[in-house]
Structure 1
Amino acid sequence: MRATSLQPITAEAAPAFTLEGKVYEVQKGDESLRNFIINSYQPFIKKVVSKVCNRFIDHSMDEYSIGLVAFNEAMDQYQTGQGSKFLTFADMVIRRRIIDFIRKESRQAKTIYLDQTELDDEGGQDESYIQQKAAIHFYDEQCQIEERVEQIETYEQLLLDYGITFKVLSKNCPKHIDARENAKQVAKILVDNSGLAQHLTEKRQLPIKDLLQFVSCSRKTIERNRKYIIAVALIYIGGFSALQSYIEPEAL
């Protein structure tokens, strides 16, 4: 995620009566409010953790503690330039921390298992090792799928903040490869310019007039591909690794 394109929460951007406004007060140092928010959103935290783990989670489990820490981390890291509501952002942070924890636990379990197999007979060791390796590979794939789905859902919600749906995006996608590549380059130029990126994330509009100073294409071309350019720029800004293929160069 590009720090230069994201802006800290401001009082104007997040009114005090909203959750985002309360997070802003926490970032200013209101620790009592921090504790109040964490306590109030424990059911939300538990729900997210349980969904990732695909099983019931109670307060005594390590996964729940990691969810609490991740929610607290989300309050410190949340920025208005991310273009999403706080709970959407917190959900993503919690999921990533839980997935990282599960993968780490799986690697440790694999190491312990391999040490123990040295004490087993050779035939049983080979068969069990293959089963264990297959199970870990399958679990890693499931975690990646879960993370990919979550990123797509978050990205879809982010697009809605800009008045764009997947259906609208498919209709506005440039038909020719060279046109798509040009639009991707425009989006990359926009994201690399902190001022242009800030305008996009704060105003929810493409800064066409200012953008024309940095690109070689015409205003008409940018306006025609406006929604596609915004969609590509948001992939960069949001750091959606699962959507990386959509912004990589295509063969002309």
Structure 2
Amino acid sequence: MSVSQLAMGGNINYPLEMNVFRAQQGDESLRNKIIESYQPFIKKVVSKVCNRFIDQTMDEFSVGLVAFNEAITQYRKGQGSKFLTFADMVIRRRIIDFIRKESRQVRHIYLDQTKTDEDNEMEESYVEQRAAIDYYEESCKISERMDQIDSYRKLLLEYGITFDVLSRHCPKHADARENAKISAKILVGHPELIRFLKKKKQLPIKDLLQFVSCSRKTIERNRKYIIALALIYIGGFSALTSYIEPESVPVH
């Protein structure tokens, strides 16, 4: 079975990600088919990390197989990357860890602990690989943040708020922004207030006043800002929670 035909019953209409999710549900036969079909991919990734040809008899290839299986188990929807991109990262991590472990064991054998040029080159390779992985992970975080900002923008529009409007309604004083943040957190802590907000697309000012120390005038003046903060919590925008500070919200 070719890679493009990998699916239950050889149906090419099943995307790889769907097959991965089916395998996660306990379809061991499908899991084995995925691993078998993607052995050339695994070998290619392992060879790149090791910077030399790797065949199926080598320990490095076995580590790659285990890592690919681990990727099948750990892959999740909505994490901002395709399965093969995620699998590539997992394999690289495990191979680098394996090489480091093997290198430490070999160095331990030599009592003089003298580093050769080859040792130094290997360590530099580790640094480069780790830097590449760190760069990839940061790129994934940026991609996830951009996706969440776009979803957040669309959600705000349902409440008649744009980023431009939000920037104009952002309180100028730090204490006012902090009070708005507190009000938003109090709102999301009460299901009845959340239901009102979602249904009416308006801030439940009257009910909210029962739980906050701010005046009605203050709440009304900052209502759009409070709604925007509350929606970050309600929408589960985990990549944006760092913006919920006295200084700013994601308006760019």
Quote the sequence identity (%).
55
Answer 1 or 2: higher relative contact order, Cα 8 Å, separation at least 6: 1
Cα pair 1:169 1:227 within 8 Å, conserved: yes
Q: What is the Cα deviation at residue 189 of structure 1?
A: 0.9
Is 1:209 the counterpart of 2:192? The answer is no
Cα pair 1:187 1:233 within 8 Å, conserved: yes
Structure 1 SS opposite 2:214: coil
Provide TM-score, normalisation by structure 1: 0.59
Structure 1 vs Structure 2 CA RMSD: 3.0
Q: What is the Cα deviation at residue 170 of structure 1?
A: 0.5
Match of 1:44 in 2: none
Q: Which amino acid aligns with 1:107?
A: V
Please give the per-residue CA displacement for 1:91-120, whole angstroms capped at 9, x wherever unaligned.
xx8432746884564133222244257489
Match of 1:62 in 2: 16
Q: Which amino acid aligns with 1:149?
A: M
Structure 2 SS opposite 1:96: coil
Relative distance call for 1:208 and 1:60 in structure 2 (3 A) is closer
Q: Equivalent of 2:144, from 125, 144, 147?
A: 147
Instruction: After superposing the two structures, state which structure 1 stretch, 101-110 or 160-169, moved more.
Output: 101-110
Match of 1:137 in 2: 134
Is 1:187 the counterpart of 2:187? The answer is no
Is 1:228 the counterpart of 2:186? The answer is no
User: What pairs up with 1:92-171 in 2 under 5 angstroms?
Assistant: 94-96=77-79, 98=81, 102-103=85-86, 105-116=88-99, 118=102, 121-171=118-168
Is 1:243 the counterpart of 2:229? The answer is no
Distance 1:177 1:211 in 2: 21
Structure 2 SS opposite 1:199: helix
Please give the per-residue CA displacement for 1:108-147, whole angstroms capped at 9, x wherever unaligned.
3222244257489534422321221111111111111101
Q: Which amino acid aligns with 2:89?
A: S
Aligned residue pair count: 171
Relative distance call for 1:231 and 1:99 in structure 2 (3 A) is farther
Q: Which has the larger radius of gyration?
A: 2
Cα pair 1:114 1:129 within 8 Å, conserved: no
Structure 1 SS opposite 2:95: helix
Relative distance call for 1:145 and 1:123 in structure 2 (3 A) is same
Cα pair 1:59 1:65 within 8 Å, conserved: no
Distance 1:167 1:68 in 2: 43
Structure 1 SS opposite 2:144: helix
Provide TM-score, normalisation by structure 2: 0.59
Distance 1:59 1:170 in 2: 46
Identify unmatched segments of 5+ residues in structure 1: 1-57, 70-92
Match of 2:196 in 1: 199
Cα pair 1:151 1:242 within 8 Å, conserved: yes
